[in-house]
Structure 1
Amino acid sequence: MKFLKGGVITLAAVVLAVFIALATWEPFFAHQAKAPEYREYSAEIVRDEFGVPMIYGETDPDVAFGVAIAHAEDDFFTLQDVIAMSRGRYGAIAGEDGATFDYVYHLLDARGTAEREYPKLPEDTRALFEAYATGLNQYADEHPEEIKLANLFPVNGEDVAAGFVLRQPFFYGLGNVVGPLVAGEELRREFGPDIPGFPREGSTPGASAPVDEAEPGGQARRDLVLPWGEDAEHLGSNAWAVTPERSGGPTTLISNSHQPLRGGVAWYELGVQSGEGWHFTGANFPGSPFPFLGHNENLGWTNTVNRPDMADIYQLEVNEAGTQYKLDGEWRDLETKTVTLPVKLGPITLPVRRTVYRSVHGPVIKNDKGYFAIRYGGMDSVQQLDAYYRINKATNLEEWQTQIARMAIPSTNFIYADREGNIAYVYNAAIPDRPEDVKANWRGILDGKRSDLIWEGTVDYAEIPKLINPASGWLYNANNEPYTAAGAGSDLSREDFSPVLGIEEKQTNRSRRAYKLLSETEGPLTRAELERIKYDTAYERQGYVADMFAGLETMEAEGELAEARDLLLTWDFTADNQGPADALALLMIRDFMSAEYNNKNAEELPKVAEHLQKAVDHLTTHFGRIDPPMSDLLRLRQGNVDLPLDGGSDTLRASTTWQVDEDGRLSLVHGDSFIQWVEWPRDGGRVFSRSIQPFGAATTRPDSPHYTDQMGLFVEHRLKPVRFWEEDVRAAARSSRKVNNAR
């Protein structure tokens, strides 16, 4: 018994030791960053009646320091997630889902890229990022009770740069290459004209046929997939620009980006002004010292996601040992590195070991079908950090376009306008400079043994689609192809662009509606007309909408299902909360939109009867009827505020993605988010703008008055004033405080 008792005590001690080790190892094992070299910063944070900060400073770095502190005051919770991602430690916060992104962090060599390339940036750009990191460190030092992961701070500019390297490729769909390759699943291509000699088909990587000639399909979905855990397959944005000649008044820029309402790629509104000429208002994502879109005194821009073919996949021939791959008849060493991914499970964090590979092509993924290398636009670069900073301070179209022409910002459409009355659309994309004289199917699985298929650099700016000051006087984009942007007689011709560029050929319902409404407006595109277009809730009976209704018209049903079918066939094709069929249509239409958007094959398309039955079951379970008002179903919810919404998936008034709450209501998680409406008066007067957010400036601070204070305006299609000019900022100020790091 004494021996048994001693054994139990020993076992308990071992278990306790293991538990303590698993609960404490990660912060000590993690990479420790060195704080930026000391430099004194001083900024003033002035907040208006909605809590939106304007940050003032003598120098640009002073302002960047203040940006970090202001953003942390409103959303330090999310900023920590983003910093953890930039350090490969997100799994220690978010468990298995976080570890998935940590794997991608190592796969893309985000840290190595930052270490190599960040020191090459201009000194003033690095100064901006070091100041921003200093602000984050100071807030962390002053609020230790808010820190959710030990040894996450200090951070430096290199850490912030690594976060950019990790996040940017996902905006053009790199996740839809990485994901299927890791799982060994079929890849799809969905855009662009067919490359002559290579028909478009699906393929599975690792097929036994020669990868260049007999296996021509294999293109991954290029929908927007972001590594923050949102329902990413439905994402989109709208943007408009109108000349003063066409508006009959001001040059107008409307920014209507659709992002998740919370998390690492949710918009944060702010303004900046320095004594060095940096004066800008707009919005950024957590982890950035500058706005990504908005306007300064002279010009502005907004963005929508585009989906060019930015990634190529190569199947490698690897030796039996898995240590070398063949290139041009010679064996080369396959780079391998074992990484440790932290995976939080309750009170403990498990260390999970994974091997990442790299060849001269780029990152390599091993699956059951072999080894596959990925090469993508913008790979191993941090130049976007500098380009975004420069366009913030551009003063005219020429200066702005010079920065865009660097092809440093890997992707996203730009819609531009300025005080001189210029408008522009640029299909911005760092598209690989693929050799057109080489026989290869760039949409397929390429032969990794051929070095002539390993391209270098991107195409020239002159090769990508762009429109400046079209005769129509208007431009728009709603995640559609660049060949419908300005109306008949002004649009670009697809024949002018090489199929090797891989430019998508895709329409959304939003693009069909915007194009139709803009084209049909014969008179001036006044503010009222543009508001009517922006908040439009209608669907065109084309594409997936037509397919869904064709299925309904031929569907046989009885009883309640037949009643629902007949009701839905009376729908007026608007999601305006007015008709008895709106709720049914809202529940039905998103999956059909997703199927078209993600290029699913016939076997994967939604079954009309099956989806209608699910919609009926949901409505009868939670509302006791199949025709409740849509406003009872679709809600904007934050804290104790619960408001009705209009709009649907893929309408210009976008209520795109939601979570189903316990009461059966649909709580919006993605859709219309930050909206900014900018006008430069025709007579040369000062720029004027308005904006709105779905919730408020302090999205993760329930005790803040700005946690929900914009919700009422948002659901009523109203905008609030943007405080851009200092006298307006001071007049509307509700708080002002100076921050510095003086020792």
Structure 2
Amino acid sequence: MWQKRFRRLFPFLLSIIFTVVVSSQGLSAAPKNTEILWDTYGIPHIYGNSIPGTFRAFGWAQMQSHANLLLRLYGQARGRAAQYWGEEYLESDKWVLTMNVPQRTKTWYKAQSPAFRSYLDAFVAGINAYAKKHPDLIDDEVKVVLPVTPEDALSHLQRVLLFSFVVAPEQVADISPKKTTPGSNGWAIAPKRSASGKAMLLANPHLPWSDLFLWYEAQITAPGIDAYGAALVGLPVLAIAFNDNLGWTHTVNTHDGWDAYELKLQKDGYLFDGKVHPFATASFPLKVKQKDGSLREQILTVRSSVHGPIVSQKDGKTLALRVVGQNSSGVLEQWWDMARSKNLSQFQQVLQRLQLPMFTVMYADREGHIMHLFNGLVPVRQQGDFAYWQGIIPGDTSQTLWTKAHPYQDLPKAIDPVSGWLQNANDPPWTTTFPTPIKADNYPPYMAPRGPMDFRAQSSAKMLAEDESISFAEMIAYKHSTRMELADRILDDLIGAVRQSNDELARRAADVLAAWDRKTDANSKGAVLFNSWVDNLDLDKAFSTPWQEKSPLATPDGLADPASAVKALSDVAAKVEKIYGTLDVAWGDVFRLQYGNLDLPANGGDDDKGIFRVLDFAPTGDERFQAVYGDSYVAAVEFSQPVKAQALTSYGNATQPNSSHIGDQLQLFARQQLRPVWRTRQEITAHLEERTVF
């Protein structure tokens, strides 16, 4: 009897066992092979059977999408790009060598933990394996960089992070005042202000649409990690990411991580604390490829003081550069461990390493916590406020020479503020939310500037403050806002002044501006006219009421010189009408999205005018302009169960010639839309374009 029952039950029991086994494999066991599932937007979803296998696949994936760019970037990071490709790269090589990147990289590689060193090795092995298997898909002129080494990846990291973000060569060329750096928007919304009762995160970096600033969107799934986000091309880990439990984004913070010191020369050295010190000297051979293929050789000699290398000798001044982060060899492992974290406590433990030399960290998680950290290596300085350290610093005394950075507990941070929301649009940490939980008076005056809060940051804060229950869809709609905050402060005064004038052209222009929707959507008429007028203003002197710390969201305001403003409008109107044939030309007719073979009407504009949807444009030579900078990678995340996410990589997820993914997301960008993020294997398989198995 029992045997008959067993035979009848056996298939049923077997099915249960099979279901349990398969389920457990799906939940915890590593897959048999490492594979890349490429979705229809060219985004690699990497399923690794081991961590090194995952890194190897990520190196392979980056080559498939960006091989020419990646190899060119690595060649520049070596300081040998002029040898490979000619004179136009000579200044880049000089910068890399002056900053001692290749030599420092050897130290950084040795300083990696044994495990992470093996991951770096695997990433580079994936790059080289792809190049070996697909030489026909790589441009001949960049193959000279092959094979690449783990040191190349670390040199590229230094060039990007320390010597492009913390300090860029163009900033050093014009040391005072310091120039504007790349920007971003970041939001964290607590459950109390979320319509779903779940925390939400908005990642919205603004970077150039080319070169070392390109984002690469990917999903990394392996033992101990399932993270989705974006890496800068050539870097082996995600820099902005989320998982099922938490997520973060970065913005460029008001962080001063470099200083220029003026040296007092004496004899063959420089004066420091009353004594003459000799310069340290290093010589680097430079080879420059000529048009006939021959190499011209020269020697680059770099002199250094206790402050750092000499970067400028002009106008009778000798300037040395000091930069934070030169011991930040663990930054990649920190980013990797941030993506592996499961809660706020673990995440903060990783942040406390302070290997990431700058950037705001904006954070949200499944438990409902939100955080804004003014992250970075902030030098401990003995004197001066933020403005003082923006200038040229006396280099003849140890009183101005910083040698230590503030520990994690000293950095401004806000966790779970009363307001229920946090924002950063590259403004100082004091204006991250209102009422402000971070008081500037509690920090050294050199930590960050006291203001002003620019128009984009004000627009950012207003959208969050004025909506007590923000849905996921509303957050995305706000993200695409092209409303010009500056217009709300000054346009009514301008129109009023014009109405009192007898200038007929200015009056016609005022009629156009009065009908304008105050946005820079593609079909906005009046935006071109107003934008052209503003570009002729000195915004530091344009307002009757300047920015005030006690009224950060309502100032500056009012028109300081109405008569001059009317004259300027008349002059600009004449030019606009002559060039475009009408005063009410649509924004998208003049400002374009041109990428690959696409040419679409743009929406968005300059951040200094208070537009949250940031785009910067370059002239195309025909009185039109094309987007070259701004909204790049965007991710909107709600920590529901399962996590809800949408994203967009504006220019597409590839640059390799003949890739179908060059610019394939630009139509969505033009329509102010994001696309769904596919994270489960079922979703990815339903939108599968290609599968690579290792």
- Which letter maps to 2:652? G
Deviation at 1:419, TM superposition (A): 1.0
2:610 is aligned with 1:680: no
Please give the alpha-carbon distance, in whole angstroms, between the structure 2 residues aligned to 1:591 and 1:391.
Answer: 45
2:305 is aligned with 1:359: yes
Q: Could you say which residue in structure 2 is the equivalent of 1:642?
A: 599
After superposition, the C-alpha distances for 1:314-354 in whole angstroms (9 at most, x for unaligned) are: 2222334xx42233333332122233445566555654543
2:345 is aligned with 1:398: yes
Q: Could you say which residue in structure 2 is the equivalent of 1:211?
A: none
Please give the alpha-carbon distance, in whole angstroms, between the structure 2 residues aligned to 1:562 and 1:49.
Answer: 52
Pick closer, same or farther for the CA change 1:444–1:714 going to 2, 3 Å.
closer
- Which letter maps to 1:266? L
CA contact (8 A) 1:555 1:609 kept: no
2:101 is aligned with 1:155: no
Pick closer, same or farther for the CA change 1:723–1:497 going to 2, 3 Å.
same
Deviates more, 1:157-166 or 1:143-152: 143-152
After superposition, the C-alpha distances for 1:9-37 in whole angstroms (9 at most, x for unaligned) are: xxxxxxxxxxxxxxxxxxxxxxxxxxxxx
Q: Could you say which residue in structure 2 is the equivalent of 1:725?
A: 680
- Which letter maps to 2:655? T
- Which letter maps to 1:179? A
After superposition, the C-alpha distances for 1:432-488 in whole angstroms (9 at most, x for unaligned) are: 1223599x9545433323234322221111222111111111111111121111222
CA contact (8 A) 1:308 1:503 kept: no
Q: Could you say which residue in structure 1 is the equivalent of 2:526?
A: 581
1:489-508 alignment, distance < 5 Å = 490-503=436-449, 505-508=451-454
CA contact (8 A) 1:576 1:646 kept: yes
CA contact (8 A) 1:679 1:689 kept: yes
Deviation at 1:372, TM superposition (A): 1.6
Pick closer, same or farther for the CA change 1:65–1:589 going to 2, 3 Å.
farther
- Which letter maps to 2:146? F
Q: Could you say which residue in structure 1 is the equivalent of 2:484?
A: 539
CA contact (8 A) 2:62 2:234 kept: no
After superposition, the C-alpha distances for 1:642-700 in whole angstroms (9 at most, x for unaligned) are: 2222222125552421222244332211121111111111xxx2222111122322234
SS in 2 for 1:264: helix
- Which letter maps to 1:719? L
Pick closer, same or farther for the CA change 1:706–1:149 going to 2, 3 Å.
closer
2:335 is aligned with 1:384: no
> TM-score normalized by structure 1?
0.78
- Which of the residues 576, 579, 588 maps onto 1:631? 588
Please give the alpha-carbon distance, in whole angstroms, between the structure 2 residues aligned to 1:325 and 1:495.
Answer: 37
1:267-666 alignment, distance < 5 Å = 267-274=215-222, 276-320=223-267, 323-343=268-288, 346-348=291-293, 350-351=296-297, 353-368=299-314, 369-435=316-382, 442-488=389-435, 490-503=436-449, 505-521=451-467, 523-541=468-486, 563-564=508-509, 567-568=512-513, 571-589=516-534, 619-620=576-577, 623-650=580-607, 651-666=610-625
Pick closer, same or farther for the CA change 1:540–1:708 going to 2, 3 Å.
closer
Please give the alpha-carbon distance, in whole angstroms, between the structure 2 residues aligned to 1:54 and 1:483.
Answer: 38
Deviation at 1:294, TM superposition (A): 1.6
- Which of the residues 85, 97, 116 maps onto 1:106? 97
Deviation at 1:81, TM superposition (A): 2.1
- In structure 1, list runs of 5 or more residues that go unmatched: 1-40, 182-186, 189-219, 225-234, 597-606
CA contact (8 A) 1:655 1:668 kept: no
SS in 1 for 2:335: helix
> TM-score normalized by structure 2?
0.83
- Which of the residues 184, 192, 199 maps onto 1:245? 192
Please give the alpha-carbon distance, in whole angstroms, between the structure 1 residues aligned to 2:537 and 2:450.
Answer: 20
Please give the alpha-carbon distance, in whole angstroms, between the structure 1 residues aligned to 2:62 and 2:582.
Answer: 45
Deviation at 1:564, TM superposition (A): 4.5
Please give the alpha-carbon distance, in whole angstroms, between the structure 1 residues aligned to 2:366 and 2:411.
Answer: 25
Pick closer, same or farther for the CA change 1:689–1:259 going to 2, 3 Å.
same
Pick closer, same or farther for the CA change 1:336–1:430 going to 2, 3 Å.
same
Q: Could you say which residue in structure 2 is the equivalent of 1:709?
A: 664
1:221-260 alignment, distance < 5 Å = 221=179, 223-224=180-181, 235-249=182-196, 250-260=198-208
Q: Could you say which residue in structure 1 is the equivalent of 2:107?
A: 116
Please give the alpha-carbon distance, in whole angstroms, between the structure 2 residues aligned to 1:411 and 1:552.
Answer: 45
CA contact (8 A) 1:325 1:332 kept: yes
CA contact (8 A) 1:552 1:569 kept: no
CA contact (8 A) 2:593 2:602 kept: yes
CA contact (8 A) 1:539 1:545 kept: no
Deviation at 1:620, TM superposition (A): 4.6
- Which of the residues 664, 668, 676 maps onto 2:627? 668
SS in 2 for 1:642: strand
CA contact (8 A) 1:66 1:135 kept: yes
CA contact (8 A) 1:129 1:156 kept: no
Please give the alpha-carbon distance, in whole angstroms, between the structure 1 residues aligned to 2:141 and 2:625.
Answer: 30
- Which of the residues 654, 666, 670 maps onto 1:698? 654
Q: Could you say which residue in structure 2 is the equivalent of 1:601?
A: none
- Which letter maps to 1:678? V
- Which letter maps to 1:262? S
SS in 2 for 1:500: coil
Please give the alpha-carbon distance, in whole angstroms, between the structure 2 residues aligned to 1:555 and 1:370.
Answer: 53
- Which letter maps to 2:220? V
Deviates more, 1:257-266 or 1:553-562: 553-562
After superposition, the C-alpha distances for 1:390-430 in whole angstroms (9 at most, x for unaligned) are: 21211111111112222210111111011111111111121
Q: Could you say which residue in structure 2 is the equivalent of 1:51?
A: 42
Q: Could you say which residue in structure 1 is the equivalent of 2:174?
A: 180
Deviates more, 1:613-622 or 1:663-672: 613-622
SS in 2 for 1:492: coil
CA contact (8 A) 2:269 2:277 kept: yes
Deviation at 1:105, TM superposition (A): 0.7
Pick closer, same or farther for the CA change 1:441–1:75 going to 2, 3 Å.
closer
- Which letter maps to 2:63? A
Deviation at 1:254, TM superposition (A): 1.1
- Which letter maps to 2:111? K
CA contact (8 A) 1:648 1:654 kept: yes
CA contact (8 A) 1:534 1:652 kept: no
Q: Could you say which residue in structure 2 is the equivalent of 1:128?
A: 119
Please give the alpha-carbon distance, in whole angstroms, between the structure 2 residues aligned to 1:381 and 1:548.
Answer: 51
Pick closer, same or farther for the CA change 1:263–1:612 going to 2, 3 Å.
farther
After superposition, the C-alpha distances for 1:481-529 in whole angstroms (9 at most, x for unaligned) are: 21111222x43221111103244623232211121222122x3112243
CA contact (8 A) 2:72 2:142 kept: no
Q: Could you say which residue in structure 1 is the equivalent of 2:553?
A: none
CA contact (8 A) 1:588 1:612 kept: yes
Give the aligned CA root-mean-square deviation in angstroms: 3.4
Pick closer, same or farther for the CA change 1:614–1:277 going to 2, 3 Å.
farther
Deviation at 1:53, TM superposition (A): 0.6
Report the number of matched residues.
Answer: 634
Q: Could you say which residue in structure 2 is the equivalent of 1:62?
A: 53
Please give the alpha-carbon distance, in whole angstroms, between the structure 1 residues aligned to 2:691 and 2:216.
Answer: 19
Q: Could you say which residue in structure 2 is the equivalent of 1:735?
A: 690
- Which letter maps to 1:289? P
- Which letter maps to 2:208? P
Deviates more, 1:379-388 or 1:472-481: 379-388
- Which letter maps to 2:201? L
